[in-house]
Amino acid sequence: MKANHLLELLRQITDLDDPAVRGRGADEVTDWIRSYTSAEAVTLATVLSATAARERDHTALEAQLHALLELTSTGHVEDAHMAHLREIDVAELPAEFQGYITDLDRK
């Protein structure tokens, strides 16, 4: 993956103003899942976990959690790279999101 494409993905998933942009960025992460080096997968997972920990928009959060699940399939992402997910109060999430967190805890 070229540097400018990685930076554009990171810009989208960290957009401070628009949850739709964050959601689209997370969706795009899954489109390129087989293209990432280990460093890129780890970077994206770390940033996505931090973003998900602060996310208030359910659509964007679902995209972020889905992208994290997909990134774990690369074999490069470990629990430590998703440590920010521990900041999420699972009890406050809708039931379908609790399943994502449970699945990520098993990875």
Q: What is the per-residue pLDDT across 18-28, written as a single tens digit (0 to 9) for each?
A: 999 999 999 99
Tens-digit pLDDT profile for residues 50-83: 999 999 999 999 999 999 999 999 999 999 999 9
- Can you give the pLDDT at residue 27? 97
- Can you give the pLDDT at residue 59? 95
CA dihedral 29, 33, 37, 40 (to 10 degrees): 20
- Can you give the pLDDT at residue 40? 97
- Please state the domain extents for the chain: 3-105
Alpha-carbon span 39 to 58, nearest angstrom: 28
Four-residue CA torsion sign, 53, 80, 22, 73: negative
Which is nearest to 1 in space by CA: 51, 47, 43? 43
pTM value > 0.85: yes
